[in-house]
Structure 1
Amino acid sequence: MARQRKTAAGTPNSSDKSKSTASTSSRNENSSSSSARNKSTSPKPQPKSSYNRLFVMTQWRLLFGCCCLIIASYFGYVGYLETRVNTPYDDNKMVSKAGLDVPEQYWGSYRPGTYFGLKTRDPNSMVVGLMWFSALRLRPGGEGIRHWCEIGDNLDQYGWNYHDGKTFGIQRIEDHPFTIETSFVKFPGGRYGGDWTARVTVTNNIRDSSESLSLIWYTAMDEKTGGILTTNTHSKLTGIHGETPGLGEFKLEIHQSNGTIVHQSYLSTVTPNLQVLRQVVMSHFRLATDKQSNQRIITLPGDVLTSSTGEIHQPNFIASLITGRPPFSIDISYQSTSGFSVSELETRSGPPIKEKYTEVLETKRSQFVKTFEENFKLKEKGYSESDIHFAQSALSNMLGGIGYFYGSSRVQSIHTKDPVPYWRAPLYTAVPSRSFFPRGFLWDEGFHGLLISSWDVGIELDIITHWFDLMNVEGWIPREQILGMEALAKVPEEFVTQRNTNANPPTFFLTLKMILNKHSHGLMAKGRLGILDRLYPRLQAWFTWYNTTQKGYLPGTYRWRGRENFSANELNPKTLTSGLDDYPRSSHPTDDERHVDLRCWVAFAAGVMADLAHLLGRDDSKYLETHYYLSDNSLLNEMHLSPYTDTYSDWGLHTDAVTLKRSQQITPISASNQNIEPAQKIRVTLKPPEPRFVDSTFGYVSLFPFLLEILTPDAQPLAKILKQIRDPKILWSDYGLRSLSKSSPLYMKRNTEHDPPYWRGQIWMNINYLALKALHHYGSQPGPYSEDAKRIYIELRHNLVKNVINQYKRSGYIWEQYNDSTGEGSGCKPFTGWSALVVLMMAEQY
């Protein structure tokens, strides 16, 4: 309309020329008449050339206006694209109840990166936790103070022996020569999440040893909201009292439960953040002489609240140092003192301590053991008491590894020049490893959910809803969640930024498939079907994101993004987004690559979407069509079955003739006598790559049509897969299926001169679980390979379970991966993320 009005006010068009001429003539006559009356000379009519100039000028103005509009629209659209990466999916959050709305889960061991720590599911939670040290083992720089779970601490063992994910936990820590047991029990009540009691017990495993151990129990504020102050308990051990918006008024008391306390002191000060608690404590250590023993001891100075300018601050960090001679124990009781009526306060006795706490803890432990057997029936299956205790510990470490994080990710899209912050949000999630990966990982969490949902489907649905609240408007979820200062402190800078082009295997569909198969009736009975109904639109967006952003050049093909930016030092460009990191793909990444595992993930996801749509009474036709299309074995074979090896593989620009060689380095004469580091090894291509199947590599990726049960029970390639699985020269070992065939060119090869092999031969429990699940499936289906599948299933399950238990008994840990030649654990420890799926293997729950 604006352009039309502008045209009417400007030069007339040709169709209105006669009207314009008449109008002009009339105006000239009136003008002439007026001039005559005023005895002035009439202006001369404008020449025709003036009208032409006016017309041209108007056209230029119109063109300029259109250009300005186009430019403004372009920059507006670019700005819109820039904002999409950090715009939430919508304002209707999946987590409908949070914080104090779920009082029974308000407090918990939600700090998995610490050896023992508690916090609330509140963005501004107060945190409490434990440090310890032996004065004989303390070193400069704080080495010897235990706080965060660190592989470098070289503890003999640590982990939860019992943990139900909600109300209690018991953990054993072996730090030679000491054994430290930590435990807690929660007691609901009131408006602020109730009370709890924690206990720390120390024993010395060396007889007649007089070595003491110092415990540091601390309280810190995650954000500077509310206040805490020191107080003394009846035992003269320093406690605190305080008030925060999320906790109301409360008090925390430390009690000597038994044994001998040699010394007690405290520190009340200000800390900038939770990253530096250990450093703050260490910087305030003082040496003093104990009056009773006349020995030199380490103490804390008390209140340190005055700044360099003389200003007095309110403390946000209080640490109580308690040195004892083992065996000794302390109880820490937390009591909410607001949110109750006067009569309730008068009748409250507070959380139990000492003998009463011991009784409550034993009741909780007994109930856990009973529920565990009801869920997994390992005693019924004939497992020994020690094997059952191992399985209980594996599950407990998974549940005790659930954390609550709050913060903002750093993300980037192709439309943003620099990384931008995601919105601040909470995440309730299990973690793969308390020592090395104490944060949320998208593809790990789908495997975690298989075990967690088998124990408590309510906890798992809570985790899923938190994850899907992190979905942006595009349907993308960042694959690694680094939320909060404690989580950020554990991550190298190069891995912090998450890019919205990059995916991760959509393993939550594995969890949803298990929930639909095992708990569909329970979902309806407990009113949880509404959660899935609200989740469904986000699952649709998530599936669409995979099906569009990760599609390949040809119909029905898919390609993992993220391989484009690789260095010359890599033997084979990594595919971190696939979850299989350095597993060999095509040697020279191009947009024409076809990744067979991703195709199978999308096919599997489409099938689960169809199942869920049917359960919810929605139209499932679109997802069924996609599932049947991508699962069509003939089309799958056309795109991914090598005619030369008759095995499934990727397709791309590839050559096996690559090697790492040290680049030549010219040494200046002036520097000939100096120590010069050798040049790095770089990749050298000995034979030009060509478009082909990557069929010289056989391993986990080759199995995906089998692992995700895409193959029909009578499919001819299934026979060869079963044969290759069982062949010791290919994937079979006495400890599980290795990730890469011994005959593959990159078997156990370093990807750079500094990076050891990762997915190039080692045994991984998550893929072995999928293999058992598939063998169990094909063994139960009528077909020509059913008996072979059953036989291999029995052997593989035996090997996996036996080795993981043996390695746990030998080393004290469940590991990230296992050596295919010796069965020994390798990678990081403890890794009770997907490696804890051994519990489901023992229970035969798929």
Structure 2
Amino acid sequence: MTADKFARKRIIGKHKDPDSVDSHEPKRLLPKHKKDSSAYKGRFITLSCVTVLAILLVGYFLYQERLKNAVNTPLNSPRIIEDDTSSSKVTPERFWGSYRPHTYFGLKTRSKNSPVVGLMWLQQFTGRMPPPIRHWCNQDDKIQGYGWVAHDGVNFGVQEINEDNFKLNTSFVKRMGGKHGGDWTAKVIVTPKVKLSKLASPTYVSLMFYMALDGQGKVDTEMVKNRVSGINGYSEELGNFKISFPKVSTKGAKYNHLVTHTTKLDKLKDVMMETIKIEAWDKARTMPYFILGGRSVPRDSGGPNYIVHQVTAQLPLEMEVIFESGSVEDRKETLSGESYDETLSQHLVEFDNKFSDLFQHRQNGYNNSMVDFAKFAMSNMIGGIGYFYGSSLVQSKYNKEPVEYWKAPLYTAVPSRPFFPRGFLWDEGFHNLLIREWDESISKDILFHWIDLLNSEGWIPREQILGVEARARVPSEFVVQQNVNANPPTFFLPLQKIITNMIKSNTDSDRKILKALYPRLKAWFHWYNSTQVGTQRSVYRWRGRDPNTNKQLNPLTLTSGLDDFPRSSHPTDDERHVDLRCWMALASGVMADIARALNADWEEYRATNQMLTDNKLLDELHWSKEGQQYSDYGYHADKVKLEQPKITLQPGQRPPQQQPDKIRVVITDPKYQFVNSFGYVSLFPFLLKIVNPTSPKLFTIMNNIKNPNMLWTDYGLRSLSRNARLYKRFNTQHDPPYWRGAIWINMNYLALSALNHYSYTTGPYQNLAKSIYIDLRNNLVNNLYRQYIKSGYIWENYDDKTGEGRGTHPFTGWSSLVVLIMAEKY
């Protein structure tokens, strides 16, 4: 029987006509509209399926949208820093400050759209075209040395800038009052290096002090005989204000100005240079004299928002700039002249007394010159604090294109004013070891700003490029931050002491902060434990390594902070990174402390800490018997090199004009093994004091440290052993070694902290630890001081063979930890 006939028979048999004479079944009533009911059910089932499918599709798309948005959605937890915390109402003493560290001298407020003021200068009659105008800190300017010699982070700052032919002294002093952060005065003193009587020809310098608005407010000039005597203005953050430019005392000084409109704060110098004109100084001078272009305000601009006051004179030259808030009603005198000098002198005395009491360097045997060096280092850490507002550019695997983070403020120190004038996550933890010692309230303000940047995943972008001025200093390929990339959670270093102090104080305000801080740290800690874990229990792995590169001798691990330090040659998911494990051990201990203080669930954190500090488990996963060191583990080949690829030419084909870049050649097959490159990574169980004080491995580590063929030098501990295969090796044809031998101060600080710890902790190696500690501390301090005297700078790192400064300069981020080393504060 065919399927069709079978189907028809079933249908007929099932629906016999009840009135049929052939029917042998008793008559019965059928439901009314039976056929319609069945059709309705079919339609209902179809509609239900469509509805369910639609709901699933909507749910899927909403879920995908949620995944896309997670990367730039704030964490759903109360912020620590409230909206008005940085305002002139809540913290007037820190409202104005030198928060533009990328400029040689610049001030702004801690507000979203702060007006900015700053200094530019040029030497006249040099014959150079275009004239070299100083504005943003730039190593190419080849200034012989510059930096803050005293800065307290609140009231004042004094800076010295050492040009070829003259010196500038820039200073500012603030005075509280009114509702908008009070008044301030800045003074610039320019003096020739050679006595006037010995000069072949006098030196002429133009000082150009400016104010520019950032999107709102208004400004205009007060004029006296074609000279700008002042600026009257208004902004939301400042209310009404006035800036005065008193006449200078130098005879024969000339005044010029620029009054214009600009929409780009990062182009202030460019806008000014476009207006520069050439004029004759007098009949005797034939070289061009550069002056500003006067008033040039576009009609449709709404008025001027950028004003520059130019003073040109033969040196010596002294200029004052006086800012007065319109809300100060009880001003007894202007902060100028003798009043300014007396107030500045008073602040300097208070600064010296506080510095001496805190660090006691003279009691530790340092002479006046070395104490001044320490003051310079500390002042530049404090004077390098900036205030930024804007959004990072971020991306996750769910976003095809980068997206903007939410707009947020960031109060942070910067590693280097000319090269890294922005916030870096792992640098900031080291910065605040020193900042906390100087002023814990500033340190808490900085760290809490950072922690408020956590997104809904518990991630913080490791590099903060906020605002147009900050973004203008970063190559485009480094702007986008990926949400799988971490950085060492160094905030836990200063938080150890900050949280301990807050727990001891037990004030209502501190408990309120701890309650806001804890869920944020909890989310951050969970992010590391969900995104940076390895393939087995208690193993951690830095993300962000490129397994497909063939141009790098050893694939970079930028996220670890130790960029080109040798890791496994072939990145895989089965890597084990010992330094990240140790960072998480530190973090879990602090988390346990804060959770316990808040009567929260702290046992799990303590259990994690005990597991990560368990020396037996640590040794099983990371101790290399062959290398006699703690090591990373991974898929690794020891023998690799960079070679020029061979070019095969077809008959008649010309060779390329430029040789292709060298590529990596693997000489020995990789295998899973320990990466026995002894250096900073190998030291982490020691650096973070995880190694038991009675462990023979501690003895081995300290002997390796003291070995000149490994890490020991007369200038500090080098980053990679001289015996390592990649010591001093370029990572690509063009990238010189970075963490492959150079001496870095942050790691040496941790080493000294550990040696100091083990010298006071009962165990068989106390005397050895003390001996190494004394020698290392002396070597490090003496070399940094010697190089500062020689070059005028504190440097990013130091050469392990000569001790000379290397990298960017000035680098008064973590290299300023020399202040704590001299004071023996760990």
TM-score range, shorter chain: over 0.9
Aligned to 1:700: 680
Mapping 1:341-740, distance limit 5 Å:
344=329, 347-516=330-499, 519-520=501-502, 523-524=505-506, 527-564=509-546, 567-666=549-648, 672=654, 676-695=657-676, 697-740=677-720
- Return the letter of the residue paired with 1:218: Y
- Whether 2:72 is the aligned partner of 1:67: answer no
Residues 777-823 of structure 1: CA deviation (Å, up to 9, x unaligned): 11111111111111111111111111101110110000000000110
Does the Cα contact within 8 Å between 2:211 and 2:306 map onto a contact in 1?
yes
Mapped contact 1:260–1:326 kept (Cα < 8 A)? no
C-alpha distance in 2 between matches for 1:707 and 1:64: 62
Say which is worse superposed, 253-262 or 620-629, in terms of deviation. Answer: 253-262
Separation in 2 of the partners of 1:301 and 1:151?
A: 28
Match of 1:82 in 2: 68
For residue 769 of structure 1, the aligned residue among 739, 743, 749 is 749
| 8 Å Cα contact 1:575-1:581 kept in structure 2 | yes
Q: Tell me, yes or no, if structure 1 residue 164 matches structure 2 residue 116.
A: no
Structure 2: distance between partners of 1:238 and 1:566 = 63
State the aligned residue count: 793
Selected match of 1:151 from 133, 139, 145: 139
Q: CA deviation at 1:712?
A: 1.1
Q: State the one-letter code of the partner of 1:114.
A: T
Measure, in 2, the Cα distance between the counterparts of 1:358 and 1:827: 37
8 Å CA contact 1:202, 1:326 repeated in 2: yes
The offset of 1:670, in angstroms, is 7.3
Give the Cα separation in 2 of the matches to 1:436 and 1:302: 33
Letter in 2 for 1:63: C
**Residues 91 and 778 (structure 1), Cα distance of their counterparts in 2 relative to 1, 3 Å cut:** closer
1:131 paired to 2:114: no
How far does the alpha carbon of each residue in 1:430-466 deviate from its partner, in whole angstroms, 9 at most, with x for none? 0000010000000000000000000000000000111
Structure 2: state its 5+ residue gaps. 1-25
Match of 2:802 among 801, 822, 825: 822
Root-mean-square deviation (CA, aligned residues, Å) is 2.2
Q: Quote how far apart the aligned CAs of 1:102 are.
A: 1.1
What residue in structure 2 maps to residue 192 of structure 1?
Answer: 180
Cα distance, 1:233 vs structure 2: 6.5
CA distance in 1, matches of 2:623, 2:744: 24
Aligned partners of 2:185 and 2:592: how far apart in 1?
A: 47
User: What is the identity percentage for the equivalent residue pairs of Structure 1 and Structure 2?
Assistant: 48
CA contact (8 A) 2:145 2:792 kept: yes
Structure 1, unaligned runs of 5 or more? 1-20, 29-44
Return closer, same or farther for 1:299/1:675 CA change in 2, 3 Å cut-off.
Answer: farther
Q: Structure 1: how far apart are the matches of 2:798 and 2:418? A: 18
Pairwise CA distance, 1:690: 0.8
- C-alpha deviation, 1:716, in angstroms: 2.1
The CA deviation string for residues 177-213 of structure 1, in whole angstroms up to 9 with x for no partner, is: 1100000000000001100000000011123330201
**In the superposition, relative to structure 1, how do residues 542 and 141 fare at CA in structure 2: closer, same or farther (>3 Å)?**
farther
SS in 2 for 1:260: coil
Supply the distance in 2 between the matched residues of 1:565 and 1:171 (Cα, whole angstroms): 47
Report how far residue 576 of structure 1 moved.
0.4
1:273 is aligned to 2:273: no
Q: CA deviation at 1:527?
A: 4.6
Indicate whether 1:27 and 2:35 are aligned: no
Name the CA distance, whole Å, in 1 between partners of 2:292 and 2:504: 54
- Structure-2 residue corresponding to 1:318: 307
Displacement of 1:528 after TM fit?
A: 3.7
Q: Is the contact made by 2:94 and 2:154 (CA closer than 8 Å) also made in structure 1?
A: yes
Q: Which of 283, 293, 301 is 1:301 aligned to? A: 293
Q: Provide the C-alpha distance between the structure 2 equivalents of 1:466 and 1:51, rounded to a whole number of angstroms.
A: 66
Aligned to 2:5: none
- Any conservation in 2 of the 1:237–1:255 contact (CA below 8 Å)? no
2:782 is matched with 802
Structure 1 residues 251 and 605: alpha-carbon distance in aligned structure 2, compared to 1, 3 A threshold: same
Distance 1:139 1:22, change over 3 A: farther
- C-alpha change, 1:194 and 1:293, in structure 2 (3 Å) is farther
Q: Is 2:87 aligned against 1:99?
A: yes
**Partner Cα separation in structure 2 for residue 568 and residue 329 of structure 1:** 58
Task: Please state whether the residue corresponding to 1:470 is helix, strand or coil.
Answer: coil
- Contact residue 227 and residue 256 of structure 2 kept, 8 A: no
Question: Contact 1:449–1:460 at 8 Å: present in 2 too?
Answer: yes
Matched, 1:742 2:725: no
* Paired residue secondary structure (2:486): coil
User: Hey, what's the Cα distance between the residues in 2 that align with 1:125 and 1:24?
Assistant: 87
**How far is the alpha carbon of 1:91 from its aligned partner?**
6.1
Cα distance, 1:521 vs structure 2: 7.4
**TM-score normalised by L of structure 1:** 0.90
The structural deviation recorded for 1:249 is 0.6
Q: Is the alpha carbon distance of 1:25 and 1:675 closer, same or farther for their aligned partners in structure 2, counting shifts above 3 Å?
A: closer
CA distance in 2 between partners of 1:120 and 1:22 (Å) = 96
Matching residue of 1:289: 280
Provide the C-alpha distance between the structure 2 equivalents of 1:526 and 1:380, rounded to a whole number of angstroms: 38
Shift of 1:294: 6.4
One of 222, 244, 250 as aligned partner of 1:259: 250
User: With structure 2 as the length reference, what TM-score do the two structures score?
Assistant: 0.93
Task: Work out whether residues 235 and 256 of structure 1, in 8 Å CA contact, stay in contact via their aligned partners in 2.
Answer: no
Deviation at 1:76, TM superposition (A): 1.1
Instruction: Give, in whole Å, the separation in 2 of the partners of 1:743 and 1:24.
Output: 100
Give the superposition deviation at 1:665: 3.1
Match of 2:400, SS state, is coil
Q: Distance in 1 between matches of 2:294 and 2:508?
A: 52
Q: Distance in 1 between matches of 2:750 and 2:576?
A: 22
Greater shift in the superposed pair: 66-75 or 380-389 = 66-75
Deviation at 1:615, TM superposition (A): 3.5
Among 203, 214, 218, the residue aligned to 1:211: 203
**What one-letter code is carried by the residue in structure 2 that aligns with 1:437?**
F
CA distance in 1, matches of 2:796, 2:544: 24
CA separation in 1, counterparts of 2:624 and 2:29? 82
> d(CA) in 2 for partners of 1:670 and 1:355?
83
Name the structure 2 match of 1:18.
Answer: none
- CA 1:52–1:764 in 2, change beyond 3 Å: closer, same or farther? same
**Per-residue deviation, 1:386:** 0.4
Give the deviation of 1:256 after TM superposition: 3.6
* Partner SS, residue 250 of structure 2: strand
Cα deviation for residue 658 of structure 1 reads 1.1
Tell me what 1:240 maps to. 231
Q: 2 CA distance for matches of 1:134 and 1:670?
A: 58
